[in-house]
Amino acid sequence: MSNFGVQTFIEENESWIIEGCYADILEPVLWACEELYFLNPGMETCIAHCRARPWEPEKYSSAEEQNENLQNLITWVSAYESRDDEYGLKRHRALFDSFTGKKREFNDPSEYETA
């Protein structure tokens, strides 16, 4: 979704949640955010989630095809802490740190239930 699409979505909906993997899309609309949650469970948890994810039929024609891509996904996720693009920790941390509204960082999935 483009920045224009996100802006339109925000304007057309009273409440919303945007997954912020794409920092370059989220950053321009951060002004409209009332609360910011940073889900940052660590590399080990993220890789475990990759291994446990269910089949995504909208992306892959079979679970086998999806599993053939698993190592590529794990390699990509493993670069999260060192990547400099909009998908990396550096950009996500900068976005979170710059937000002056109500915010909370979660470092363990068990904390998500308290939000």
Alpha helices in the chain (DSSP H): 3-12, 23-26, 43-52, 63-68, 70-78, 89-98
Token pair in block for residue 42? 């660590």
If one counts the domains in the chain, the total is 1
DSSP state of 26: H
pLDDT tens by residue, 61-113:
999 999 999 999 999 999 999 999 999 999 999 999 999 999 999 999 999 88
Rounded Cα gap, residues 35 and 62, in angstroms: 37
Structural domain of 79: 3-114
Single pTM value for the model: 0.82
Label residue 110 exposed, middle or buried (CB < 10 Å: 0-12, 13-18, 19+): exposed
pLDDT tens by residue, 31-43:
889 999 999 999 9
